[in-house]
């Protein structure tokens, strides 16, 4: 059994101490404050969801935790010890794996080659590739995640988006990840494939990893998350445990909460002083007054006549 696999089994058995802790972390790019006062804990066997719209600071947060960028304020701790990774390699060596949306897989290479890319197993005095062993391990590890790939020699480009996600996750776990950061893993996937990716998130959690699930989709987050953080313009605007939050609250907060309620007032032409009941703003859906068919056609005509820049 490889060291990586042993390590994986060691982390199962959940403890309450966070693996990774951010305390009041901030990041400025010159005058731009991309993040301010962000605190979060990543615990083993838990999924921490970080939600936010474009420009909320999600990428910046990922870059700090994955060693690409240094934070400019606050403290990041790994196993209770303050750390600055300095490089992605250092973060990886500390067990922090990041699976980006584009997955960093080589599409024309086979499944097993991708699995071992950069970590190939070799044998004998000539250090030739130990293909049989790599294929066997790859098959075993994918099997643990519930993925059966009929032909490991197939290029990964031929697999579904969900299966490709799984290879990236299984690879990270096998090579000793303790924390896995998933950057919008369901963003480019349809409903069915999103389900596949979400199942793998649960598998990674159940394997004892601390999972950070970055998404803008509250429905996906709520299906798998233990803890939820919403970032807005670089600040934490919601930080709640699953027990203290309903899907509806998460969705409303994500959609803009109070701002959405105000917009709803405006669009309905209701007296802004009137209190809107929580149930009236549902799932981020704004009930704008419906346009008649004629009005709709007039809007389309206006759009067509609008001079293009």
Ligand X SMILES: Nc1ncnc2c1ncn2[C@@H]1O[C@H](COP(=O)(O)OP(=O)(O)OP(=O)(O)O)[C@@H](O)[C@H]1O
Residues paired with 227 in a beta bridge? 48, 241
Sole window of 8-16, 47-55, 139-147, 262-270 interacting with ligand X (rule: CB under 6 A): 47-55
b/e per residue 97-124 (b: at least 16 CB within 10 A): bbbebebebeeeebbbbbbbeeeeeeee
Of the two residues 58 and 227, which places its CB atom closer to ligand X in the complex? 58
Of the two residues 159 and 214, which places its CB atom closer to ligand X in the complex? 214
Q: CB 138 → ligand X: shortest distance, Å?
A: 32
One residue of 54, 125, 275, 306 binding ligand X per CB under 6 A: 54
Of the two residues 98 and 264, which places its CB atom closer to ligand X in the complex? 98
Rule CB under 6 A: say whether 59 interacts with ligand X: yes
Rule CB under 6 A: say whether 58 interacts with ligand X: yes
Q: CB 183 → ligand X: shortest distance, Å?
A: 9
Of the two residues 63 and 205, which places its CB atom closer to ligand X in the complex? 63
Rule CB under 6 A: say whether 132 interacts with ligand X: no
Rule CB under 6 A: say whether 178 interacts with ligand X: no
Sole window of 51-59, 87-95, 245-253, 293-301 interacting with ligand X (rule: CB under 6 A): 51-59
| Of residues 18-37, those binding ligand X (CB under 6 A) | 29, 32, 34
Of the two residues 52 and 176, which places its CB atom closer to ligand X in the complex? 52
One residue of 42, 49, 56, 197 binding ligand X per CB under 6 A: 56
Residues paired with 211 in a beta bridge? 47, 180
Q: CB 36 → ligand X: shortest distance, Å?
A: 11
> What is the radius of gyration, based on Cα positions, of the chain?
23
Where do contacts with ligand X occur on this chain (CB under 6 A)? Answer: 29, 32, 34, 52, 54-60
């Amino acid at each position: 059994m490889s060291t990586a696999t042993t390590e994986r089994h060691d982390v199962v058995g959940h403890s309450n101490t966070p693996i990774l802790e951010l305390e009041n972390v901030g990041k400025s790019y010159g005058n731009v404050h991309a993040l301010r006062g962000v605190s979060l804990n990543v615990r083993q066997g838990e999924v921490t969801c970080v939600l936010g719209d474009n420009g909320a600071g999600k990428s910046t947060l990922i870059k700090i935790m994955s060693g690409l960028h240094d934070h400019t304020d606050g403290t990041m701790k790994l196993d209770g010890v303050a750390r600055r990774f300095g490089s992605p390699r250092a973060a990886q060596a500390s067990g922090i794996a990041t699976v980006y949306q584009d997955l960093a897989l080589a599409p024309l290479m086979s499944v097993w080659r991708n699995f071992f890319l950069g970590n190939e197993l070799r044998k004998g005095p000539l250090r030739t590739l130990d293909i049989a062993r790599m294929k066997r391990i790859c098959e075993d590890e994918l099997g643990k995640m519930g993925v059966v790939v009929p032909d490991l020699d197939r290029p990964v480009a031929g697999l579904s988006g969900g299966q490709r996600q799984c290879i990236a996750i299984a690879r990270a776990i096998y090579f000793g990840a303790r924390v896995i950061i998933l950057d919008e893993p369901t963003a480019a996937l349809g409903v069915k494939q999103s389900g596949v990716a979400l199942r793998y998130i649960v598998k990674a959690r159940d394997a004892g990893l601390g999972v950070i699930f970055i998404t803008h989709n509250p429905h996906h987050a709520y299906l798998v998350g233990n803890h939820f953080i919403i970032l807005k313009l670089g600040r934490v605007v919601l930080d709640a445990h699953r027990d203290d939050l309903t899907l509806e609250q998460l969705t409303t907060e994500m959609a803009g909460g109070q701002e959405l309620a105000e917009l709803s007032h405006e669009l309905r032409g209701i007296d802004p002083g009137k209190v809107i009941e929580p149930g009236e703003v549902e799932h981020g859906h704004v009930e704008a007054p419906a346009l008649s068919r004629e009005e709709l056609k007039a809007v389309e005509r206006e759009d067509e006549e609008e001079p293009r820049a």
